[in-house]
Every structure is written in C-alpha cells, then in structure tokens.
Amino acid sequence: ATMPPLLSAIATCGRHGVLVKSAAAMERLGAVTRMALDKTGTLTEESARLRGTQVLPGSGLTEDEALALAAAAERPSEHPLARAVVTAARERGLRLEPAADFASAPGRGVRAVVTGHTVQVGSPTALLDGAAAPPERPADPAPLTRGDDSVRTAVMDGCPVRAAVAEVEDSGATAVAVLVDGRPVAVLAIAAPLRAGAAEAVAALGRLTGAPPVLLTGDNKRAAARLGEEVGITDVRAGLLPQDKVATVRGWEDAGERVLMVGDGVNDAPALAAAHSGVAMGRAGSALTLETADAVVVRDELAAVPAVVTLSRRARRLVA
Ligand code: ADP
Ligand code: MG
C-alpha cells in the first residue's frame, strides 16, 4: 500500500530529525510566502559561551562573586544565555547559592533572591533604561558589601555600565547586565557560534519564497546586524520583545502574507503560533512546542528548514 503524499512526507521528515505535527501542518509548511528567523538559539547554536565578565567599579564584588550571583539567579532558566552563565560558573568551580522567588520575563531576563539580595540578570535595555518596571526588592535588603556608597556613585553617573555594555556590543557579543538590589554590578559578554550551514539555509529559504528572509531578535542592534551580515540577512529587526515579534508576524499575515516563523520553542512560542506556520529549532521543550509549532527540528541542522518546505510543496502537488 502506498502512503498518502503528506504522510509520506512526514515520515521522510522524521527520518531526517524533523518532527511534523500533522498532515495539515505538513501542508501549511509549503504554503508560506515569507520567512522570519529568530537569532539566539535559532540561527546560532543553542549553547552560548561566556566570553567575559566586567565588574563595574565600586561594585565591591570580584569577577567570581559577580558571576556566582548571576549564575545562582540563572540556574532555573532554560534560556541559552542562562545556561552559558551557569556553565561558566561551574567550570570555574564556583559555589552557587540557592535562589528563591525565581521569576523570568521573556525577552528581558530573570530575577531571584540570592543570599537575601535581589539579583537581576538580563537585557541592559530592559534592566537599565527602565523599559520594564524593576521588580520589587526584598522589604529590608541587607547591605551588600562595604562598598555600598561607591556602588551608588558608579550607578548615578551612569557611565561605567553603559561603557561596558557598548564595549561588549561593539564586539558583536550579547551584553547581559547583572544588578544586585537594583544596582548594576557587572556586565557579562556572551556569544554563541552560528549554526553550521546557516548562510546556506537562509539563502535557500529566500529562493523558495523569492522574498528576502527577515531577522527578528530580542538582542541588541549591533550583535543582530553583525549576525545578519554573516548569514546574508539585510532586513534585521532588533530589540524586539516576544510580543513585538508577534505583532510583526501578525502585520504580515494581515497584509496577506503566509509567514514561516523559525524560532526557539520557548521564547518564540507566541510568534510561532501567530505565524501561518511555525518551526522550532532545538530539543528544548519539543513536546510542548508542538502545541504551537507545526514542526520541531531536533537535529542541529538549519538546512532541515528549507528541506521541509520543499518536501511539503512536492507533497501538496501530489495531493492536488
Ligand atoms: P532572541 O530573540 O535573540 O532569541 P530572546 O528574546 O531570547 O533573544 O532574548 C532577548 C534578550 O533578553 C537577550 O538578548 C537578553 O538580553 C535578554 N534575556 C532574556 N532571557 C535572559 C536570561 N535568562 N538571561 C539573560 N538575559 C536574558
Ligand atoms: Mg531565541
């Protein structure tokens, strides 16, 4: 007996490490007219690495102390940046104190109470520009270290932390701010390598639709633009919160496009759901991801995305 074309295409995808949810999902994948891709964890590998820790003058902390605090707060998070911080702390043999009251805000970062202090780790824009209301502090914060006054000075003149962030972003890395009890104490530089074949996959996606793929990212402009150059994407939209990605996708859909959103299964779930078809890269949360995405690429290969679209188109032609 021969399988119906769409089911046979699903089976082929499965053999190549792509889980497709249903025949309807398989069919949607081939109907797309525009491609949008996320950056962190999608065009880049899921595992990022800590490149450096810059302790701000007057923080009263050593590099290791700042990193240990950040890692303690990040430990419950599955975000690639969080895992980079925790891995780096473990590699240095640092002791991670338990974290209480953990909370994470997609596209912004995390917050937790570590040794009685509120530690925030995340996007400099969100944490330093007050784009997000700073989470409440514990009622009676104990003094951090002797250096409390100098910490305030460093924060008030605003320069050291901004200079550190700019330096990291100029290098093409992602800058992550670490705040203790609302005060910036360190800036971390984190970078993830491009996935193998990323530029080829982007080019293939562009050829499939005839429209240049778009990069949608929560990361900073400079890191995003640099990555865009490396993979051949000129339409780069940076500094987006998860809901901004959703709004962008909806805008295209409303204008009659059928969008293929390629993202990570965690932060990009709303954008994957808003798109005509969503493809999630990576193993993280793949069972949950299939509730919003049409397909999950469990193999570390971006080339699977244009391959799946091509398979779907062939199967659709056979069905029709
Ligand atoms: P992208 O769109 O590139 O995948 P995300 O939406 O996942 O990026 O995150 C956007 C930004 O939010 C990151 O560049 C980082 O500044 C911040 N961020 C989000 N989660 C975390 C976290 N767990 N730790 C540190 N920073 C985070
Ligand atoms: Mg991402």
pLDDT digit string (tens) for 304-313? 999 999 999 9
Q: Kindly tell me if the per-residue pLDDT of 265 is higher than 80.
A: no
Residue ID of nearest Cα to ligand 1 atom 8: 218
Backbone phi and psi for residue 58, each to the nearest 5 degrees, phi listed first: 85, 5
Kindly tell me if the per-residue pLDDT of 133 is higher than 70: no
C-alpha of residue 111 to centroid of ligand 2, in Å:
19
**Superfamily holding 5-46+194-319:** HAD superfamily/HAD-like (3.40.50.1000)
Average pLDDT, the chain: 88
Please list the helix, strand and coil fractions of the chain in percent, rounded to the nearest 5, in that order: 40, 20, 35
- Has residue 134 got a pLDDT over 60? no
Query: Which of 135-144, 192-201, 211-220 shows the lowest mean pLDDT across its residues?
Result: 135-144
Q: What is the pLDDT of residue 73?
A: 98
Per-residue pLDDT, averaged over 214-236, amounts to 94
Distance 35 CA to ligand 2 centre (A): 15
**What pLDDT, on a 0 to 100 scale, did the predictor assign at position 151?**
39
Question: Strand 117-122 relative to strand 99-105: parallel, antiparallel, unpaired?
Answer: unpaired
CA 279 to ligand 2 center in whole angstroms: 12
- CA atoms of 157 and 180, how far apart (whole Å): 17
Tell me if residue 276 falls in helix, strand or coil: coil
The finding on whether 40 has its CB within 6 A of some atom of ligand 1 is yes
The residues annotated with a catalytic role in the active site are 38
Domain ranges of the chain: 5-46+194-319, 49-191
Q: Is the pLDDT of residue 108 over 80?
A: yes
Residue 148 clears pLDDT 50, i.e. is over it: no
What is the best residue among 40, 165, 221, 233 to mutate for testing ligand 1's pocket, by most ligand atoms within 8 Å of CB?
Answer: 40
Q: Is the predicted ipTM greater than 0.95, yes or no?
A: yes
At residue 104 the predicted structure's pLDDT band, cuts being 50, 70 and 90, is: very high
**Binding site membership of 110 for ligand 1 (Cβ less than 6 Å):** yes
Q: Is the pLDDT of residue 285 over 90?
A: no
Tokens (6 digits) for 219? 């990361």
What integer pLDDT is reported at residue 276 of this predicted model?
A: 97
Read off the tokens for 156: 């008030």
Q: Indicate if ligand 1 lies below 6 Å from the C-beta of 122.
A: yes
Give the mean pLDDT of 218-227.
92
**Positive/negative CA dihedral, 249, 254, 255, 256:** positive
- Is there an atom of ligand 1 within 6 Å of 228 CB? no
- Report how far residue 108's alpha carbon sits from residue 218's, in angstroms, rounded to the nearest whole number: 8
Q: Is the CB of residue 195 below 6 angstroms from any atom belonging to ligand 1?
A: no
pLDDT above 60: residue 320: yes
Instruction: Supply the residue whose CA is at minimum distance from atom 4 of ligand 1.
Output: 40
Question: What is the rounded CA–CA span in Å between residue 70 and residue 92?
Answer: 14
More confident residue, 66 or 138: 66
Please check whether residue 240 is in contact with residue 248, taking contact to mean a CB–CB distance below 8 angstroms.
Answer: yes
Q: State mean pLDDT over 263-289.
A: 84
Nearest atom (ligand 1) to Cα of 224: 3
130 pLDDT higher than 70: no
Distance 172 CA to ligand 1 centre (A): 15
Q: What pLDDT band is residue 239 in, cutting at 50, 70 and 90?
A: very high
Domains 5-46+194-319 and 49-191 share a fold: no
What's the pLDDT score for residue 131?
42
| CATH architecture of the domain formed by 49-191 | 3-Layer(aba) Sandwich (3.40)
